[in-house]
Structure 1
Amino acid sequence: MHHEMMSDKWHEECGVFGIFGHDKAAELTYYGLYALQHRGQESAGIATVEGRKMHHHKGMGLVSEVFNEDVLETLKGNAAIGHVRYSTTGDSSVANAQPLTFGFQRGNMALAHNGNLTNAYQIHGRLERQGSIFQTTSDTEVVAHLIAKSGLPTLEENVKESLSVVKGAYAFLILSDDKLLAMRDPHGLRPMALGQFEGAYVVASETCAFDTIGAEYIRDVEPGEMLIIDKDGLRSERFATASRKALCTFEYIYFARPDSDIDGFNVHSVRKKMGKLLAKEHPVEADVVIGVPESSISAAIGYAEETGIPYEIGLIKNKYIGRTFIQPSQELRERGVKLKLSAVRKIVEGKRVVLIDDSIVRGTTSRRIVEMLRDAGATEVHLRISSPPVTHGCYYGIDTSAREELIAATKSVGEIREYIGADTLSYLSEEAMLRAFGVEDFSNHKYCNACFTGQYPTEIYEDLEKHMLER
């Protein structure tokens, strides 16, 4: 993990996109990945299949940096899978960029994976002892080895057997010479939806990718379901009995794009509802409500609507900061060189401001924003967080810091408020957050809140925590 590069926010591992049965497969995958760029900015890749030949191209950087028309021309075929990545397991290198492609006795295979396998470390060790040679440090390659070693007659049977061994979170796409497989983990921790475009089937991490290419949404992939798409169309099988559903609430709170619908809920609407509930739980007298762009705008609109305090654009985000941006020196930062966010002075000057953010991870960003608003003349800054305090790390494909870096793991709300420098600080309760999804029975619901509660839906292996700290 590159701590010097980590911003004080969550990083989602990846976005996946697949299409089968369209002569413009690579180009449509490119546009699909473009829509999923918010899920990972570190690397991008596309693999296509043309008869018994597999083509692929991947590289470090944004989708628009990795691909151009000449490259897309070389990616021939009517089926493709694509991937955008932010690394959680495995280092930042092009070897770990996906899709991973393999040729073995049965033909070609490409894999793209969003999520994190909690027992990959153990399986990796076992396979190495049995003679497997690994090219990458990503947990996705572990699955490829399991599939290659499985001696069953069909690809889907080999995949089913392999997935019965792995634990954790995943939305997996596998492309072979003649079919596309899509699998979602038995808890449904990571999202995946199915759509249709001009007779072709498409699958993607989020429905915003369908809207971008003009595909029609059919349904979400079920937890524990395997979709098999080939020349005969689409069929569905179960590779695991659906475990207790445990959808990641952070998809709604922060990662997903507001125009996506995940498992029946529109992301913007859920965020807005959380903002309204936050206003009910923690109102305050103030002059303006502002949100931290982009992820907290929906919640800020909800808070403003509920309280009647006007919503304003008080912070502007510079959209053009790429990953390769040269960071200013510490000295220039201290002199006030601000790259990512600027306060709108005329809006906050002389005002009591309610600042809405979706979460506090390490607290450093919140502290800077509060300071920036005071510098711009805000008389009071009341920080309201549209989710509960994050007290535990995530093992399911989200790059949370090690637990000792999470400010809420060691400090009380009062201490966090003091560190951040806000006049008041309040978080949304877990019950209110679940109420945004219409949950009535809080002891039995279909969401993963492990980062707030420490109750993980799958087994967490002893050496995983150690492994995550070492890397």
Structure 2
Amino acid sequence: MCGIVGMVNQSAVNQLIYDALLLLQHRGQDAAGIATQMDRKFFMYKAKGMVRDVFRTRNMRALPGNCGLGHVRYPTAGNANSEEEAQPFYVNAPFGIVLVHNGNLTNAHALRAELFETDHRHINTDSDTEVLLNVLAHEMQRAASNDTLTVPDIFTAVRQVHRRVRGSYAVIAMIAGVGILAFRDPNGIRPLCISKPQDGMAAVASESVALEGVGLTLDRDLAPGEAAFIDLQGHVQFEQCADNPRLNPCLFEYVYLARPDSDLDDISVYHARLKMGEALAKRVVSMVPPDEIDAVIPIPESSRPSAMQLAHVLGLPYREGFVKNRYVGRTFIMPGQAVRKKSVRQKLNVVNSEFKDRNVLLVDDSIVRGTTSKEIIQMARDAGARKVYLASAAPPVRYPNVYGIDMPTQQELVAHNRTIEEVREIIGCDALIYQDLDQLKTAICELNPAISNVDASCFDGVYVTGDICTEDIQRMQDERPRQTEDNDDTSRLTLPNAEVQ
């Protein structure tokens, strides 16, 4: 899970890219990076931490140029503690390329060996982004005519990348002295959109909110397999580079990942979450009589639209029962102290009057490990709730995600190999209502009839790339970054203004 942006302008882009990354901060809080270009020379700065902490005035002054790209990272593969694996990545041959990537390559292991043995290119980190960069660089070298890189050559290289690479990838690359290249995987799993050119300025980004926040207007989403090239004057060219493209966007983007004020693949994320609330209301009625519910209370933040619509459909009071502490920082380990794991109670505070002597229906966007849900349910009981029901706007998360979402291993998923009743007993609520997967798919597809299928692999175990086996899942889970207890807490509950409701 990452956020990416690329931009060409007729004046400096460093501040614009910084502003866009702030709007994409919810997509990754582990590391941030910006690279710019001036007179064929690249300037780059990247470090671990959030955007506002990574970049100081001196760093911004050292990023001149009218062309650039940026990245916010949440690690899903490789070494989470390595600053070297923060993006962007750079390669100097054949033409000088800087690249950022959102997604996860499912055949990165095989590609590493192929790059070394056949392409004679060296990979220096565990990051699949470096693998992708070197595949692209190699294919550009093969496509270039007489060592001169043309736009048709660039699109030819992307076509070959699609044939070699598997998995999910939304990519933005900056080519020295040439411009910005952006492309999306043939299944369109991860989002990528482009602005309308405006006074020599054009940009691509993970979400539309990043474009609109810097004064640009969304043009459209890149189609699955499509590539866009922005030259240094801000002119844009498009080319379909995949043999069999098909749109299978990630369902979890609408459930949780994306900001509600973004549009993804011609769907308003906010409207998608309202539709989820309508569908969830039907499930609630089938399990809990509405007259037994005194209030509907969202668990901040991304569940709010679903909770509001659910309450509206059922004619129930909607209440805010939890207040999020937006300024929870890191836990410092002083001499003589034991490592202390952050509690949900540090991130959320309860409005006791909304719970006392009431039957409450809590609404969350999803339930993954179940540990947070269990603690929040206990907080509601401690505040005096008679009964605590929990509704999830997403179906049970039973399978790992291999396409770039930081999802726990199968054994850590509370719903894996368990019935709903067993999950209810573990987390301690009086009734547990999950969204129906077919109804959820229908709700999304109705908002854009061009979408006939979605990637719902973490719910149904069906991987749309068709190349995932049990051994692949185990290997990718083994490569998944491990966080230690004294790491900074970068969960959404601690992120200031992660959602704009």
TM-score by length of structure 2 reads 0.86
2:473 aligns with one of 462, 465, 470: 465
User: Do the aligned partners of 2:328 and 2:347 also contact (CA within 8 Å) in 1?
Assistant: yes
Q: Deviations over 1:174-216 (max 9, x none)?
A: 0011210010111110011111454311111001112211211
| Structure 2 Cα separation of the partners of residues 148 and 207 of structure 1 | 28
Aligned to 2:356: 349
User: Do the aligned partners of 2:188 and 2:249 also contact (CA within 8 Å) in 1?
Assistant: yes
Deviation at 1:337, TM superposition (A): 8.3
Classify the secondary structure of the residue corresponding to 1:409: coil
Q: Which runs of 5+ in 2 are unaligned?
A: 480-501
User: Do the aligned partners of 1:48 and 1:77 also contact (CA within 8 Å) in 2?
Assistant: yes
Aligned to 2:14: 26
1:418 aligns with one of 422, 425, 448: 425
User: Do the aligned partners of 1:95 and 1:135 also contact (CA within 8 Å) in 2?
Assistant: no
Q: Deviations over 1:425-446 (max 9, x none)?
A: 011111221232244999x922
Matches for 1:172-251 after TM superposition, within 5 Å? 172-177=171-176, 178-196=178-196, 197-231=198-232, 233-251=235-253
1:95 aligns with one of 73, 84, 102: 84
| Structure 1 Cα separation of the partners of residues 361 and 245 of structure 2 | 40
1:258 aligns with one of 250, 260, 265: 260
1:102 aligned partner, one-letter code: V
* Aligned CA distance change for structure 1 residues 227 and 337 (closer, same or farther; 3 Å): closer
Aligned to 1:4: none
Deviation at 1:450, TM superposition (A): 1.2
Deviation at 1:319, TM superposition (A): 1.3
| Structure 1 Cα separation of the partners of residues 339 and 100 of structure 2 | 42
Q: Deviations over 1:40-71 (max 9, x none)?
A: 00000001111210000001000001112221
Classify the secondary structure of the residue corresponding to 1:273: helix
1:431 aligned partner, one-letter code: D
Q: Deviations over 1:295-324 (max 9, x none)?
A: 1111110111111111111111111234x4
| Structure 2 Cα separation of the partners of residues 146 and 290 of structure 1 | 48
Aligned to 1:78: 66
| Structure 2 Cα separation of the partners of residues 183 and 238 of structure 1 | 9
Aligned to 1:159: 158
Aligned to 1:43: 31
Bigger drift between 254-263 and 69-78 goes to 69-78
User: Do the aligned partners of 2:224 and 2:246 also contact (CA within 8 Å) in 1?
Assistant: no
Matches for 1:356-371 after TM superposition, within 5 Å? 356-371=363-378
User: Do the aligned partners of 2:188 and 2:247 also contact (CA within 8 Å) in 1?
Assistant: yes
Deviation at 1:128, TM superposition (A): 3.1
User: Do the aligned partners of 2:369 and 2:413 also contact (CA within 8 Å) in 1?
Assistant: yes
Q: Deviations over 1:204-253 (max 9, x none)?
A: 10011122112111111111100011046111011103433211010000
1:139 aligns with one of 128, 134, 137: 128
* Aligned CA distance change for structure 1 residues 441 and 86 (closer, same or farther; 3 Å): closer
2:92 aligned partner, one-letter code: G
- Name the count of aligned residue pairs: 455
1:171 aligned partner, one-letter code: A
User: Do the aligned partners of 1:116 and 1:395 also contact (CA within 8 Å) in 2?
Assistant: yes
| Structure 1 Cα separation of the partners of residues 338 and 446 of structure 2 | 46
Classify the secondary structure of the residue corresponding to 2:476: helix
* Aligned CA distance change for structure 1 residues 380 and 72 (closer, same or farther; 3 Å): same
Deviation at 1:268, TM superposition (A): 1.3
Classify the secondary structure of the residue corresponding to 2:92: strand
| Structure 2 Cα separation of the partners of residues 277 and 327 of structure 1 | 45
Classify the secondary structure of the residue corresponding to 1:425: strand
1:39 aligned partner, one-letter code: R
* Aligned CA distance change for structure 1 residues 440 and 189 (closer, same or farther; 3 Å): closer
Aligned to 1:300: 307
User: Do the aligned partners of 1:289 and 1:353 also contact (CA within 8 Å) in 2?
Assistant: yes
Q: Deviations over 1:405-438 (max 9, x none)?
A: 2111121000111111101001111122123224
Aligned to 2:167: 168
| Structure 2 Cα separation of the partners of residues 227 and 295 of structure 1 | 31
| Structure 2 Cα separation of the partners of residues 167 and 225 of structure 1 | 15
CA RMSD of aligned residues (A): 2.2
2:138 aligns with one of 149, 159, 168: 149
| Structure 2 Cα separation of the partners of residues 226 and 56 of structure 1 | 24
Q: Deviations over 1:352-408 (max 9, x none)?
A: 100001111111111001001001111110101111111111110011111122111
Deviation at 1:463, TM superposition (A): 4.2
* Aligned CA distance change for structure 1 residues 331 and 90 (closer, same or farther; 3 Å): closer
1:72 aligned partner, one-letter code: M
| Structure 1 Cα separation of the partners of residues 107 and 418 of structure 2 | 31
User: Do the aligned partners of 1:118 and 1:461 also contact (CA within 8 Å) in 2?
Assistant: no
* Aligned CA distance change for structure 1 residues 266 and 325 (closer, same or farther; 3 Å): farther
| Structure 2 Cα separation of the partners of residues 313 and 416 of structure 1 | 25
User: Do the aligned partners of 1:17 and 1:82 also contact (CA within 8 Å) in 2?
Assistant: yes
| Structure 1 Cα separation of the partners of residues 187 and 417 of structure 2 | 29
* Aligned CA distance change for structure 1 residues 33 and 22 (closer, same or farther; 3 Å): farther
| Structure 2 Cα separation of the partners of residues 332 and 25 of structure 1 | 42
Q: Does 1:65 align with 2:53?
A: yes
| Structure 1 Cα separation of the partners of residues 444 and 138 of structure 2 | 42
1:290 aligned partner, one-letter code: I
| Structure 2 Cα separation of the partners of residues 66 and 77 of structure 1 | 19
* Aligned CA distance change for structure 1 residues 461 and 410 (closer, same or farther; 3 Å): closer
Bigger drift between 56-65 and 161-170 goes to 161-170
| Structure 1 Cα separation of the partners of residues 370 and 109 of structure 2 | 31
| Structure 1 Cα separation of the partners of residues 260 and 332 of structure 2 | 29
User: Do the aligned partners of 1:439 and 1:445 also contact (CA within 8 Å) in 2?
Assistant: no
User: Do the aligned partners of 1:143 and 1:163 also contact (CA within 8 Å) in 2?
Assistant: no
* Aligned CA distance change for structure 1 residues 170 and 440 (closer, same or farther; 3 Å): closer
Deviation at 1:145, TM superposition (A): 1.8
User: Do the aligned partners of 1:49 and 1:79 also contact (CA within 8 Å) in 2?
Assistant: yes
* Aligned CA distance change for structure 1 residues 316 and 448 (closer, same or farther; 3 Å): same
| Structure 2 Cα separation of the partners of residues 337 and 249 of structure 1 | 26
1:452 aligned partner, one-letter code: F
User: Do the aligned partners of 2:162 and 2:225 also contact (CA within 8 Å) in 1?
Assistant: no
Deviation at 1:282, TM superposition (A): 1.4
| Structure 2 Cα separation of the partners of residues 300 and 95 of structure 1 | 41
TM-score by length of structure 1 reads 0.92
Q: Which runs of 5+ in 1 are unaligned?
A: 1-12
